[in-house]
Amino acid sequence: MTQLEYPSFIAEIKKNLKMYDLDPKYLEVEILETEVMKNPEKVIGILESLHLLGISIAIDDFGTGYSSLSHLKRLPIDTLKIDKSFITDIPHNEDAIVIVNTMIALAESLRLKVLAEGVESKAQKDFLHSHGCHTVQGYYYSKPLNRLEMKAMLQEQPKVLLS
């Protein structure tokens, strides 16, 4: 059972926003494309409830599932996250380039933010930046870090995220 399937999911989110005095605009919920396709109508309703609270919604690992564009246009999402499997071969593989450029164009057309996962090289970062994807994550910047490691990294190299 995924968290979205818990009957009290929305109530728990509301409770935690209040308990931690967190403005919902600082919270983003990520959902896998495959989870949407299991029960689109139910998931769309839950995501709409979250969105009404002011929470951002991101579709993670986009392109790896079998989503229908008719569902995509109905989802109250803010960010489309391009899966690493499409980023790995850019900028050297023409098919990967076409697919990534299409995903970027789709996100722009739907007025969504776009984020590329799995960026591991300067060439990938530069390609994505020059093609309209300005938000990336991956080992090019850092391995996953816990809170203390992140704090130390930012103190040592405060400009690392800007290059």
Q: How many domains does the chain have?
A: 1
The CATH number covering residue 157 comes to 3.20.20.450
Condensed to tens digits (0 to 9), the pLDDT of residues 107-161 reads 999 999 999 999 999 999 999 999 999 999 999 988 999 999 988 888 887 565 5
* CA–CA–CA angle 106, 108, 113 (5° rounding): 110
pTM of the shown model? 0.83
Across the strands, what pairs with 31?
59
Give pLDDT tens digits for 52-105.
Answer: 999 999 998 887 766 667 667 788 999 999 999 999 999 999 999 999 999 999
CA distance 59 to 132: 18
Range of the domain at 91: 3-162
Q: Is the dihedral of CA 111, 112, 118, 119 positive or negative?
A: positive
Give pLDDT, residue 5: 77
CA angle 119, 93, 144 (to 5 degrees): 15
